[in-house]
Amino acid sequence: MNVSQHYDSAIPRPPIVTTWQDDATQDLADDTGYQSARVIIVDDDPGLRELLTEFLVDNGLGVEAVSSGAALRARLVQRPCDLVILDMMMPGEDGLSVLRGLAQSDDPPGVIMLSALSSEVDRVVALEMGADDYVTKPSTPREILARIRSVLRRRNRTAATGTDSAGTIEQGDAPRFHTTYRFAGWTLNCRMRSLQSPGGELVSLTEGEFQMMDAFVTHPHAVHTREDMIALSGRADTSSKDRTIDVNISRLRRKLAAFDRTEIIRTVRGKGYLFIADVIGA
């Protein structure tokens, strides 16, 4: 199924760009820590490549699109990238084979798998092989953009490491990439997108709730404004932004409180939300 059927026709369609763009927007730079994040789309569907390239370029990313794993490797020899959006079901060399090769490289880029396969087994296999995220088709370009921002933010390797010798993430630091974050007995696994309670129970999270938790654990002890939270969603329509953010925060608090009454998310009146728990990245 093609992503294009979900494309928002109100979004202007700029000329197709299939070479690197070096002037990423400030909005994206603020989200990820990259002044010019570079992404390669690998998919045998030319319509999807064109659609997604146009949308991501319009949102400040430098994007190149190729049709095969061989073409991807040729591009990476010329210049590395920050993230690869990789189709799982391509003719010839499939996405998992390409992923395996990327994972074995000295400095692998982030990888988001795109797949029409929605079973838990397919998702787990891809994640365990080294993918940072797994998106099931059909999906909207805006959702893919939000996933890209989340992965890039977690994999930011250009700023300070943000950890002391014990792995504790300090206020104001930009953390290195971690797969797992622990706080107040809880464990957030960003690769599996799972939250585990202090007692070992798995707690389900919506995509919006996960994005918030990801922001909180990577930047604890810092106030997160509603505008920060809205940026995580990748949405242009912010007509109901305050209500949506508050609802998601309320749901997160209820889920955390169901297992542990310790205060973790504090409201800072007139400013936003503060994650007060100490966080250790692993």
Q: Which residue has the tokens 């997604």?
A: 52
**What is the rounded CA–CA span in Å between residue 92 and residue 161?**
39
Higher local confidence (pLDDT), 173 or 257 = 257
Best CA proximity match to 8, nearest among 254, 237, 247, 242: 237
Q: Which of 67-71, 94-98, 169-173 has the lowest mean pLDDT?
A: 169-173
- Looking at residue 171, its pLDDT comes to 53
Mean pLDDT, residues 115-130: 88
Mean pLDDT, residues 130-135: 90
Q: Which of 13-17, 71-75, 122-126 has the lowest mean pLDDT?
A: 13-17
The token pair at 131 is 């993918």
Say whether pLDDT at 7 is over 90: no
On average, the pLDDT of the chain sits at: 78
Residues 11, 248, 149, CA angle at the centre, nearest 5°?
45
- Looking at residue 251, its pLDDT comes to 92
Say whether pLDDT at 281 is over 60: yes
Q: Which residue has the tokens 């994040």?
A: 37
The token pair at 127 is 């994640």
**What is the rounded CA–CA span in Å between residue 24 and residue 81?**
14
**What is the rounded CA–CA span in Å between residue 61 and residue 18?**
11
Best CA proximity match to 127, nearest among 83, 193, 177: 193
Say whether pLDDT at 72 is over 90: yes
Instruction: Give 206-210 contacts, CB < 8 A, sequence gap 24+.
Output: 206/248, 206/251, 207/143, 207/146, 208/233, 208/244, 208/248, 209/248, 209/251, 209/252, 209/255
- Looking at residue 33, its pLDDT comes to 45
Model pTM above 0.85: no
Say whether pLDDT at 198 is over 50: yes
pLDDT in tens, 218-277: 888 888 888 777 766 554 444 545 577 888 899 999 999 999 888 999 999 888 899 999
Mean pLDDT, residues 36-42: 89
Coil vs helix vs strand at 43 = coil
- Looking at residue 168, its pLDDT comes to 61
**Do 87 and 95 contact (CB within 8 A), yes or no?**
yes
pLDDT band with cut points at 50, 70 and 90 for residue 183? very high
- Looking at residue 256, its pLDDT comes to 94
**Do 281 and 220 contact (CB within 8 A), yes or no?**
no
219 φ, ψ to 5°? -140, 70
Say whether pLDDT at 18 is over 80: no
| Contacts of 36 by beta carbon, 8 Å cutoff, 6+ apart | 21, 22, 23, 24, 29, 62
Higher local confidence (pLDDT), 206 or 97 = 97
**What is the rounded CA–CA span in Å between residue 229 and residue 143?**
14
